Structure 1
Amino acid sequence: MQIVKYPAKKDWSEILKRPEFDISSLHQKVNDILINIKKHGDKALFEYCSLFDKVELKNLKVSDDEINEAEKYVSDELKNAIEEAKKNIEIFHKSQIFESKKIETTQGVVCWQKAVAIEKVGLYVPGGTAPLFSTVLMLAIPAKIAGCKEIVLCSPPNKEGKIHPAILYAAKIAGVNKIFKAGGAQAIAAMAYGTESVPKVYKIFGPGNQYVTAAKQLLSLRDVAIDMPAGPSEVQVIADDTANAAFVAADLLSQAEHGVDSQAILTTTSDRLISEVITEIEKQLERLPRKEMTAKSLLNSKLILLKNEDEIIEITNEYAPEHLIIETNNYMQIANRIVNAGSVFLGHYTPESAGDYASGTNHTLPTNGYAKAYSGVNLDSFIKKITFQEITEQGIRNLGRTIEVMAENEQLDAHKNAVTLRKG
């Protein structure tokens, strides 16, 4: 990890750069995959599964028998944990249900909104280096609460042609309708265009590698809505002298183990804490099974010593982290000044892992600085709002002249006439 002490403000943007990778040929490769899926459907999916997943599939759809069989391979302890997490995620997301109110803006003019679920949604759950069954819960549960009629899930199969049992179990209890063995950009394309097996959806959710991200972004230009732009995962920790160095180190490492392109940042005014955190990282890293990959990720990570709390808050709002952990004595005061972050974890006993799994908040969050403009996934992500208005005869008389004047000045006479005729 790189230690940066008292950087000048002019250097912050350079210091806060995310890991960069050569993507010069990425969009062309992904676009070729999208075109192939659009033209050849299931046939292309089977071919990509053979090429990338190294398995020859007979069927793309996961059968009920496979789902029931998978359940046998999930321990009771893990089932209980998944069900406890499901309960908390449901409680939090149900609290977000929209309540419509009719508003009379002018006498005789009533307006309101109606929340309607997106009918068909697609969820992508990566296989990769870890089976992210928690992502199934984070996406399928709010989709179910919202009332989405069709919830489609794609996840890459292993070399035996199976999806991890915990992913299938989580999908079953969270209410997923259909599950398909497909990964990467080709899975995103299948849900966007529809194939003989995979239904076409209206919006696609879920994380993935750079190919998945590129596919989502390209398809969102004309074919399907997506949850948000997303990239490698990241965390920032704000800590002071009251912080436990072991906790801070564990928080940084828990993010770094996601992948070699993840980033972990510590911002503090305590030089002593930086030294203690480095010692703890070295100690804890040795015990991690994913030690090698985590160590590579730490090359992207930084420990930044700043002059005061104001600088910490300013640099945080500039970085706009996906995850922000505040391990300070006055964490609530700092939190109240944060305007750019995906999800915030407060105090010494609130690890980011809690939000990843079971506290109830959603872990599908904006990365790469997009927290400046995007929210994380929530119930509204699966809903569209339709506006309604009802105007009485008296109402059109009250509001009519205002509309006529505005239409006249925009030189839209038919707009004006639609009001004038009603006024009588």
Structure 2
Amino acid sequence: MRIVLGVGGGIAAYKVASLLRLFTEAGHNVTVIPTEASTRFVGTATWEALSGNPVSNSVFDDVHQVNHVRLGHEADLIVIAPATADLLAKAATGQAGDLLTNTLLMARGPVLFAPAMHTEMWQHAATRANVETLRSRGAAVLEPASGRLTGADSGPGRLPEPEAIFDAAMALVQGQSDFQLPLAGRTVTISAGGTREPLDPVRFLGNRSSGKQGVALAVAARNAGATVRLLAAHMDVPPPAGVEVVPLETALQLREAALAAAADSDVVIMSAAVADFRPAAVSDTKIKKRDDRDDPVITLVRNPDILHELVELRNSAAPRGRQQLIVGFAAETGDGDGDVLAHARAKLQRKGCDLLVVNHVGTDKVFGQDTNSVVILARSGSEPQEASGTKTEVSAAIISRISDELNSVSPRA
């Protein structure tokens, strides 16, 4: 596929290099047209090296090829990222002052704009009018992500992650009417990893969780357009780019972070492996092994049921109907009282969450592995859904199910 990638003059231009790499690695032939302003952020040499094609922003280069006409006619897809307020205005009013705006006027295929700018610029009436004009003419304009912007402020206006733009572009070319990212405009909080409960300054009670599934969920939610907050307990893998990370260690710290994060979350996914118990007392000094002393006795106390507390908080805040989706995870083993699914169904009933993702765990299953096999149970009583494969594939299935659940209820007030 022949793609024209237009690069606007915003600091987010550096992220477009990753988008270009995604296009080229998928086998597409990409011509990059940067605006003059964008070359102050990323030079033409970068675009030429990554695309393998010559780069220009002037209508007077290679005049014999009539590029200002040819590129728009030949392109199977045009993607503009970052689409600055200036570029949106020029496109909406049909200006043709450089090679990129000329190419947009000559476009015969689908066009996708990925906006990035400060919140006030995005929310300005002029920008909103320009966006509506472009959409009314058939162009696709993504909603920007929310989060930290260039300065100390934050809000809607971040460039969506390259993977999310790539997915939207491919969906647009394939003619999907719902090419818009399914979680765009949603805030998703995800807990990941395993909590650690200190015994003394050296030792702790922990578990085998690596955090791989939680990180994969964060990536899938991010790529679906959500603003993602990752509550990160101990993890063997780094957090993904493009998400807010809240580091923590213990179950009590996770509880505090989860309750705070839930206040502005559309979805809460509790995938972390949370310790059920913690030591009743924590020694200020290392517990030493001595021949003249008895073996130490460690008394455990229950940790709070964070998932159940989140459900109660949600229900009390929205007594007339669900306005937040809560997803729990159950790491189960069968025993004399029942199999894995029997225990999971009982847990779903106790917790009251909307979805429960069930793992059959063991010393060589799930924890630390790159693959997973889960069953998704719903409080609504719908048929259980199975998903298996890599943790990336399983996460995509879970996020897709969450999107379906969100679309099945009335939007938030």
- TM-score by structure 2 length? 0.31
Which structure carries more helix by proportion? Answer: 1
More strand per residue = 2
Larger relative CO (CA 8 A, sep 6+): 1 or 2?
Answer: 1
TM-score normalized with structure 1 length: 0.30
